[in-house]
A = this chain, B = another copy of it.
Amino acid sequence: MSTVSAPHRAPHPDRLFPADPGVRSVAQRIHHTVRDERIISPHGHVDARVLADDEAFSDPAALLITPDHYVTRLLHANGIPLDALGVGRGELSEAQARSVWRIVCENWAVFRGTPVRYWFDVELADIFGITEQPGASNADALYDRIADCLSRPEFRPRRLFERFGIDVLATTDDPCDDLSAHARLAADPAWSGRVVPTFRPDRYLEPALPGWRQAVDRLASVSDVDTDDFDGYLNALQKRRRYFIDHGATATDHSHADVGTQPLDPAEARRIYRGARAGSVTLAESTALRRHMLFEMARMSTDDGLVMMLHPAIRRGHHRPTGAAFGPDTGHDLPLRVEFTDALRPLLENFGTHHNLNLVLFTVDETAYSRDIAPLAGFYPTVFVGAPWWFLDAPEAIRRFHGAVTETAGYRKLAGFVDDTRGFCSIPARHDMARRLDAAGLAQLVAEHRLTEDEAVVVAGELVREQPRRVFKL
């Protein structure tokens, strides 16, 4: 084990592998078999227009810092105001971008022990050839080196997409989105990458959310279906799902405070909907309708085959003053307790063994792994275990995840890794981290004679190839 720390430190080839030399060599061999597999990214937040337009990234801060709330929240937590980081300020001047970058470098220490630091190390080295640790003294030089890269054609989005070895990338999209960026990419003979949309209808399903009525009005207009009554609303959603499918979508994504799926009596659903359209809906009614609608989404999936991803139990915009000043997704969406077993029961009793439904469960409340998600996936053929997500997308948390779900559900019920990122350049680093941790965990099983190395190699391959394709129907 090397303990020398050179000023130039490329990410170590054995990073994240077990320290025990024997186990480490098993991990190396397993990882070697999946290291260069192409990336399947079934869920994330890259904007398809970035690839459709294929314009050069403007500057290092806009590429690596300002849109990435993982980075900005940690700096904010250590006393740096968000406006000093360019959050929510739109396009930055060169001086501003450089200042943001400098602040990040000066505060590099706040990332110690976090996955942000790990991803940065790998991104900077693998994409930009930078193996120095950022700091006050080299901040400007590093800015210049990255900026210089970004001006070169091989750092355009499409070239990076190819260099990253991305096989398919799913975006996350509003049901009213015209998906023109996806269409442009699909129609472009010079482009062979696969970028598929994902149907994310949250704001259309909760009448008490601000802007719901206008959203449903817009839904009527883009779908050309009258949404004044409940049946029209359902039809409009169904039509937009079809539109998404026609543009390559294979999945929907849902994130509400809970995963309740209790269906309403049809008359009650219509009554609540009517009231909501007329501007009169209680929070309880809105929640009841949303749970009914999650059930409806599953019913529609049994028809049209869209995979359902559930990302529940987040308190969005915990600090309202920050939300008001800097907008959403600024680092204070925080985890809540979650319960899946009873909440999903109505859905699963009706569709839990349906051949056309795949349901992928994610959580930011770890207690649900061994108590809810793995037991559900260990019985229902429709239920799959989603990858560690958000705050849990880090080495220790990923290890806990493996330990908590595989014994009950088996490896075959894992949906494979999902990067869920807004940081385009972090995609390969994140998938590589997942593959290393898969290899490390499997090597441990081999070392303890719970699996043969041959089998471990098969499992590692299935986790990055067959399973995401099968689960997400890609």
Contact = CB atoms under 8 A, between A and B. Distances in A.
A14 B449 CA distance: 7
Identical copies of this chain, number = 3
Q: Which 9 A-B pairs have the closest CB atoms?
A: A5-B452, A12-B449, A394-B407, A396-B403, A1-B22, A15-B449, A19-B447, A113-B406, A5-B454
A82 to B, nearest CB: 10
Interface string A16-46: 1111111100100100000000000000000
Contact of A379 (B11, B331, B410): B331
A1 B447 contact: yes
B450 A16 contact: yes
Contacts of A331: 378-379
Nearest to A336: B341
Question: Which of A19, A341, A444 has the most C-beta atoms of chain B within 10 angstroms of its own C-beta?
Answer: A19
15 contacts: A5-B454, A16-B450, A19-B20, A20-B20, A109-B455, A115-B407, A318-B345, A319-B352, A335-B372, A335-B375, A336-B371, A370-B392, A395-B407, A396-B406, A397-B407
B341 A112 contact: no
Contact of A315 (B74, B109, B341): B341
A73 B453 contact: no
Interface stretch (A145-153, A164-172, A177-185, A359-367): A359-367
A45 to B, nearest CB: 18
Contact of A113 (B17, B392, B451): B451
A1 B26 contact: yes
Given A17-B448, A450-B395, A379 B1 contact: no
A77 B315 contact: no
A404 to B, nearest CB: 7
Contacts of A17: 448
Interface in A233-275: none
A71 to B, nearest CB: 11
Contact of A112 (B111, B392, B412): B412
A155 B471 CA distance: 43
Given A3-B446, A5-B452, A112-B451, 6 more contacts: A77-B410, A112-B455, A319-B353, A331-B379, A334-B372, A394-B407
A225 to B, nearest CB: 33
A366 B377 contact: no
Nearest to A115: B407
A332 interface: yes
Nearest to A455: B112
A357 B407 CA distance: 35
Contacts of A11: 449
A118 interface: yes
Contacts of A192: none
A78 B352 CA distance: 13
Most chain B CB within 10 A, of A112, A342, A352, A381, is at: A112
Residue among A23, A400, A410 with the most chain B CB within 10 A?
A410
A334 B375 contact: yes
B379 A319 contact: yes
